Structure 1
Amino acid sequence: MSEARIYLVDDNDGFRDSTAWLLETAGFEVQAHASGPAFLEAYAGERHGGGAHCIVSDIRMPLMSGLQLQEELRRRGIGLPLVFVTAHGDVPLAVEAMRKGASNFLEKPFSDDALIDAIRAAIANARNHAVEAGDDRLARLSPRERQVMDLVVASKPNKIIADVLGISVKTVELHRSNMMNKLGVRSLPELMKVALGHG
């Protein structure tokens, strides 16, 4: 029984094959696609149960970029969590993608564990947003504190969080401190537990 289905969208055959193998070894079911349009066509013809799904997509691809894919998913009302993988020069694009709701981005080269952790966090976060009523403490957060929490849980440093939200690093630190106080947590592991519904 697979843990979740991952839709892998990347035009690089070698990266796609090795990443699909890695994710299958970690217990995920994987559907790999060489382009955004190929994924959209396959996804439109699928029957969708209530399982946990996540998209892992390159950000820079011919035919349709990762950002264009993200836009098309939003237009079609497909709310799957989205983790981008990106080359070093594409970090500003990835920051823009997170502003538009992507769950996370990883800069190549990244470790196997970093990718698997990012996918699990994205799926857990999506579930958490769907359930939302699970922990009253989360309801105490302001919308901005909630955004900061999601980005902290996605392992983003304060500088990236500031870029994503368009605020200063000082303001991020203030929101982060308020959010930790409201949730009654003192460390990142404690925050992860609360954010993912295990606290």
Structure 2
Amino acid sequence: MTVTRVYLVDDNDGFRDSTAWLLETAGFEVESFASGAAFLEAYAGHRHGDASECLVSDIRMPEMSGLQLQDELGRRGIQLPLVFVTAHGDVPLAVEAMRKGASNFLEKPFSEQALVDALRTALAHARNRGSGGGMANELLAKLSPRERQVLDLVVASKPNKIIADILGISIKTVELHRANMMGKLGVRSLPELMKVALGHG
């Protein structure tokens, strides 16, 4: 049976403990780390077998920030779905993280459901990209590179304003891409769009 393992990196002991408990209650296997360096050291020695894996990391930490951790994973060729958690003032950093390929970011405080949904979406997206999702992939192949970027951010539950900031385009242009994308995919609602994007179309 496939285990879903979440690596949780945050220097705040209380937040780390409460979030680990929350995730374990939701059925995830959790390994917690107080720093990016501690996570990298432990991860390098792991056997990665039948586990779906995802990383949840704070963005602002001493010594190694979440962005530096993201960069280091990239240098090592480690492709983990990555969800950042961030304080309100760090949203511009989170936008930069998504430009670099993070799956999502959540502002603290967030609900249990928001975190669980973000993880499941990130994992499903990673699986779909790795396995090729049949008919859904045929539909997605119709999208332009920019429409695909917009789709990824819509799936990450980002509003048009944040999508515009991440991609460096206007909100009107985002709306136009969304309309074109939904037309090409033959969907009329966000739930239908999510099904196609995550390989269930």
TM band (smaller chain): over 0.9
One-letter amino acid of the counterpart of residue 82, structure 1: L
- The residue correspondences of 1:46-125 to structure 2 (distance < 5 A) are 46-125=46-125
User: Displacement, 1:63?
Assistant: 1.3
Unaligned ranges ≥5, structure 2 = none
Counterpart in 2 of 1:194? 196
Give CA-to-partner distance per residue, 1:13-56, whole Å, 9 cap, x none: 00000000000010101000000000000000001114211000
One-letter amino acid of the counterpart of residue 124, structure 1: A
The root-mean-square deviation of aligned C-alpha atoms, in Å, is 1.1
Aligned residue pairs, count: 199
User: Displacement, 1:133?
Assistant: 4.8
Counterpart in 2 of 1:152? 154
Contact 2:2 2:51 in 1 (8 A): no
TM score, norm. by length of structure 1: 0.97
Contact 1:84 1:94 in 2 (8 A): yes
Unaligned ranges ≥5, structure 1 = none
Counterpart in 1 of 2:140? 138
| Distance in structure 1 (CA, Å) of the matches to 2:86 and 2:158 | 15
- 1:163 and 2:173 correspond: no
Contact 1:3 1:27 in 2 (8 A): no
Contact 2:73 2:79 in 1 (8 A): yes
What SS class does the counterpart of residue 62 from structure 2 fall into?
coil
What SS class does the counterpart of residue 92 from structure 2 fall into?
helix
Contact 2:2 2:52 in 1 (8 A): no
TM score, norm. by length of structure 2: 0.96
